[in-house]
């Protein structure tokens, strides 16, 4: 096999709680992760010239070792002494620095794809163990689906799948640094922890009403203080019929959960008209795991 094409899917957090901070700066979290069908297209090709070449449609992304896709490829090439060169093409659609794990999902796809084209024979667990050295969300991006993530995000328990629904994603035109958001959170008291168990129960009961009523994200307050546009988008989504709306990860992407596709589309139109952002998508949740 000389070439492989992959879809690197994004995620939202149905719930995000922070339990504490470790000595090394990492945080203990309890998150319900959900894969959504918004993806970057990734092509990995063997090439004659040695080394790793990265090409992308976004001029502002690094194409060296600062790109997570590069780091993922390098990790396996070093460990397995792969002599061939490779080129990686990233066609990015997942918003960048947006709380949707775009970079982590690219790294996950590259680990998965390199394992295939070089016949390394690594299991999913073995890929995930390597993935966590690149980023806390990488193991989840390898696993995909509806998952409880604990530890620093790498202790994963699959949950009952998210019932069918439509997700409206809206990314306001601001970039958020995950690191800074967590630092600001450390200097504050967490007043209210989200009901992660309520989300899990809602998933078990397949009750979209209970899942959405239990949604919560402790990072939201931190990011909203800096970017009030997040609250405006949330309110627009709720007024337009979302069961609930919330910020994903450290933001600034906001998602709304809808039962009806046409309502989700009408809400997307509303957000564009109010000029809060032009970057909006209506997508399905994605529950199939990796094969």
Residues 174-193 that bind ligand ATP (CB under 6 A): 178
Of 33, 86, 103, 149, the residue at the interface with ligand ATP (CB under 6 A) is 103
Beta bridge partners of 101: none
Q: Is 11 a catalytic residue?
A: yes
- Cβ at position 231, least distance to ligand ATP in Å: 19
Measured distance CA(70)–CA(64) in Å, rounded: 7
Of 34, 104, 236, 244, the residue at the interface with ligand ATP (CB under 6 A) is 104
Q: Determine if 68 is a binding residue for ligand ATP (CB under 6 A).
A: yes
Measured distance CA(148)–CA(31) in Å, rounded: 6
Of 6, 33, 34, 106, the residue at the interface with ligand ATP (CB under 6 A) is 106
Whether residue 143 contacts residue 289, with contact meaning beta carbons closer than 8 Å, is answered with yes
Q: Determine if 32 is a binding residue for ligand ATP (CB under 6 A).
A: no
Question: What is the β-pairing status of strands 254-258 and 244-247?
Answer: antiparallel
Residues 118-177 that bind ligand ATP (CB under 6 A): 137
**Contacting range for ligand ATP; rule: CB under 6 A; set: 31-39, 66-74, 115-123, 142-150:** 66-74
Task: Count the residues of the shown chain that bind ligand ATP, applying the rule CB under 6 A.
Answer: 21
Q: What residue is closest to ligand ATP based on CB? A: 103
- Cβ at position 288, least distance to ligand ATP in Å: 21
Q: Determine if 41 is a binding residue for ligand ATP (CB under 6 A).
A: no
Q: Is 260 a catalytic residue?
A: no
Of 63, 97, 117, 155, the residue at the interface with ligand ATP (CB under 6 A) is 97
Active-site residue, selected from the candidate residues 17, 40, 137, 234: 137
Over the window 200 to 239, marking each residue x when it contacts ligand ATP by CB under 6 A and - when it does not, the resulting string is ----------------------------------------
Whether residue 210 contacts residue 202, with contact meaning beta carbons closer than 8 Å, is answered with yes
- Cβ at position 116, least distance to ligand ATP in Å: 19
**Contacting range for ligand ATP; rule: CB under 6 A; set: 89-97, 191-199, 203-211, 228-236:** 89-97
Closest CB to ligand ATP among residues 240, 252 = 252
Closest CB to ligand ATP among residues 88, 240 = 88
* DSSP conformation letters of the chain: --EEEEEEEEEEEEEEEEEEE-TTS-EEEEEEEEEEEEEEEEEEEEESS-SEEEEES-TTS--STTSHHHHHHHHHHHHTT--SEEEEEEE--SPTTSSS-HHHHHHHHHHHHHHHHTT----HHHHHHHHTTT-TTHHHHHH-SEEEEETTTTEEEE-SPPPS-EEEEE--S----HHHHHHHHHTS-------HHHHHHHHHTT-HHHHHHH-EETTHHHHHHH-THHHHHHHHHHHTT-SEEEE-TTSS-EEEEES-HHHHHHHHHHHHHTTS-S-EEEEEB------
> Residues interacting with ligand ATP, by CB under 6 A?
61-62, 66-69, 90, 96-104, 106, 137, 178, 249-250
Which residues are catalytically annotated? 11, 137
């Amino acid at each position: 096999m000389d070439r492989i094409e992959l879809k690197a899917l994004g995620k939202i957090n149905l719930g995000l709680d922070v339990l504490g901070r470790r000595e090394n700066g990492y945080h203990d979290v309890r998150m319900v992760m959900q894969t959504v069908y918004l993806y970057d297209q990734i092509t990995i090709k063997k090439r004659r010239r040695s080394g790793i070449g990265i090409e992308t449609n976004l001029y502002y992304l690094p194409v060296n070792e600062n790109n997570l896709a590069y780091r993922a490829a390098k990790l396996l090439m070093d460990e397995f002494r792969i002599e061939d060169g490779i080129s990686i093409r990233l066609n990015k659609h997942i918003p960048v620095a947006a709380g949707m794990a775009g970079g982590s999902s690219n790294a996950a796809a590259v680990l998965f794809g390199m394992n295939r084209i070089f016949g390394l024979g690594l299991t999913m667990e073995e890929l995930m163990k390597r993935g966590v050295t690149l980023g806390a969300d990488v193991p989840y991006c390898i696993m995909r689906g509806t998952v409880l993530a604990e530890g620093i995000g790498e202790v994963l328990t699959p949950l009952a799948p998210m019932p069918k629904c439509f997700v409206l994603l809206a990314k306001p035109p601001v970039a958020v640094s995950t690191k800074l958001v967590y630092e600001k959170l450390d200097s504050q008291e967490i007043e209210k922890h989200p009901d992660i168990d309520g989300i899990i129960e809602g998933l078990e009961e397949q009750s979209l009403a209970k899942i959405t009523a239990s949604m919560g994200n402790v990072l939201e307050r931190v990011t909203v203080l800096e970017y009030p546009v997040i609250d405006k988008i949330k309110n627009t989504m709720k007024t337009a019929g979302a069961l609930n709306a919330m910020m994903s990860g450290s933001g600034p992407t906001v998602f709304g959960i809808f039962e009806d596709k046409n309502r989700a589309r009408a809400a997307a139109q509303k957000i564009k008209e109010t000029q809060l952002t032009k970057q909006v998508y209506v997508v399905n949740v994605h529950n199939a795991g990796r094969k």
